[in-house]
């Protein structure tokens, strides 16, 4: 599975505006829902919050991978957002979270969901890649960085 299979350029947000965990999750969910009419943005926010209650999806190093499953989807979908200042996402390391990769999978797709999480996690572990994402100038540049890194694996 490639990241570019689940993340179109239109779903890359270069400057998230939300200032809290709740507003960032809503911004990502609404952006995804705006591009996929089969997704109810409010229901997606509920699903993401259900997962966050189990433990923060902010894994440290400025990264969060909010994720969940929705009935009615046929494949895994993603959205990427960058928050230049960072927000408190209750990260494992206590630092602000700046890079967000939202994943939503079909309700019955354990394997695909886990493969997507593993792929995103592997890409974002690279410190130089994270630095490139933070210095990319716009949506096009961010997406190019993601595509180039995705091709390495």
Catalytically active residues are 67
Strand duo 97-106 + 63-64: pairing: parallel
Strand partners, 101: 80
Q: Exposed/middle/buried for 98, CB within 10 Å: 0-12, 13-18, 19+? A: buried
d(CA 71, CA 93): 33
Contact 14, 136 (CB under 8 A): yes
Supply the DSSP string of 85-111, one letter for each residue: EEE----TTSSPEEEEEEEEEETT-HH
């Amino acid at each position: 599975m490639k990241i570019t299979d689940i993340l179109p350029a239109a779903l890359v947000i270069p400057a998230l505006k939300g200032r809290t965990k709740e507003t960032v999750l809503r911004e990502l969910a609404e952006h995804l829902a705006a591009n996929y009419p089969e997704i109810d943005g409010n229901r997606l926010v509920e699903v993401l919050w259900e997962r966050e209650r189990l433990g923060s999806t902010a894994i440290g190093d400025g990264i969060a991978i909010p994720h969940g499953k929705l009935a009615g989807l046929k494949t895994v979908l993603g959205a990427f957002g960058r928050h230049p200042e960072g927000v408190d996402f209750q990260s494992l390391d206590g630092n602000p979270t700046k890079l967000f990769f939202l994943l939503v999978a079909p309700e019955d797709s354990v394997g695909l969901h886990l493969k997507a999480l593993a792929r995103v996690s592997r890409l974002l572990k690279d410190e130089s890649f994270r630095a490139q994402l933070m210095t990319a100038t716009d949506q096009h540049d961010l997406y190019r960085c993601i595509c180039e890194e995705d091709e390495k694996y």
